[in-house]
A and B are shown apart, each in its own frame.
Chain A
Amino acid sequence: MNEVIAFWILSAVAVLGALVAVRKRNLIHGVFALLVFFAGLSGLFLLLLAEFIAAVQVLVYIGAVGVLLLFAIMLTERVAGDDGRRMTSRGWPWGLVAAAAVFVLLLLSLWPVQQLSMPKAKDPSEFLTQISDPGYDGKFGTEENPEFGEDDRKPVEQLGRKLMNPYVVTLEVLALLLTAALIGAVTAAQGVRMPKEDDSPE
């Protein structure tokens, strides 16, 4: 029951945050609404027992991406935003129609999923009833009946081991990508210095 209430509150926060972020005229306010959306999504990740991903969401999105967006806004537009001009693009009703059509399409394709009944043992609410117990010892499942198994009790440790064993090449490629993105971002933002013609000697 707690889980259901938490789900509805967090999804309302996420949807409202996203809507405000997309519709707000003032860009700074929009970024703050976007941060609220990221926080709501982080709560949903916690609800799905992906606590490490929730922490990464807070660190990377709320911490880094939010600050980066704020800096980009301050470096470009005036803080008040679009200074009274039209906010939406030409042909925006078509964009609205296209987004609504995609939503309907996704709902139609989700219809068979609704008929499936998911295995109860994997339901996160089991865990939530367990941690609301005062005698909770910080572990998943019980000693007699480990519903998630021994390996699943320390998911973060498992994640680290998997990053080092089967996914090590992916990790290295990702490190390369981040380095390239860093260099590329600096180069692109720095701009090209054109030599002025009247600067040439004689």
Chain B
Amino acid sequence: MNLHHYLILAALLFCVGLMGAFTRRNAIVVLFSVEIMLNAANLNFIAFWRYSDNPELLHGPMFTLFAIAVAAAEVAVGLALVIAVYRHFKTVDLESMNTLRE
């Protein structure tokens, strides 16, 4: 296994997430697409760390650890916002939230 295998896999996962975020109407599915993209980025961090010149500095796991914590905070706030939006519009369909356009 070489570095580019991991990078190509991470690129593929990122684009699957991107596809989900672009094509689905449900706000919760868009949230988990964003989670898929964040995880693909984490895979890149770890792969670059393991194939770097001095992995004993542990830069990769450290950054990934912080990224995971921030992503967890993001998903908690995001879901709270989805619940608040659901209470207001009675739906989580992104296309029916067009108040600003009307």
Contacts and interface: CB of A to CB of B under 8 A. Distances in A.
Contacts of B72: 60, 64-65, 178
B23 A88 contact: yes
The number of chain B residues touching the other chain, given as a range, is 35 or more
A46 B46 CA distance: 10
Given A106-B14, A113-B7, A182-B76, A76 B83 contact: yes
The number of chain A residues touching the other chain, given as a range, is 35 or more
For the residues of A in contact with B, the DSSP-based class is helix
Contact of A96 (B22, B70, B73): B22
A182 B72 CA distance: 10
A57 interface: yes
B49 A18 contact: no
Interface string A58-98: 00110011001101110111000110011111101011101
Given A7-B5, A110-B7, A124-B1, A152 B28 contact: no
A151 interface: yes
Contacts of A100: 15
Contact of B11 (A72, A95, A110): A110
Given A15-B9, A86-B25, A122 B50 contact: yes
Interface string A121-164: 01111000000000000000000000011011001001100110
Nearest to A112: B4
Contact of B77 (A15, A30, A184): A184
A67 B72 CA distance: 12
Contact of A174 (B4, B56, B70): B70
6 contacts: A18-B36, A37-B13, A88-B24, A89-B95, A113-B3, A158-B56
Interface of A: 3-4, 7, 11, 14-15, 18-19, 21-23, 27, 30-31, 34, 37-38, 41, 44-45, 47-50, 52-53, 56-57, 60-61, 64-65, 68-69, 71-73, 75-77, 81-82, 85-90, 92, 94-96, 98-100, 102-103, 106-107, 110, 113-114, 116-119, 122-125, 148-149, 151-152, 155, 158-159, 162-163, 167, 170, 174, 177-178, 181-182, 184-189, 191
Question: Which 3 A-B residue pairs are closest in the complex by CB-CB distance?
Answer: A95-B22, A22-B20, A181-B73
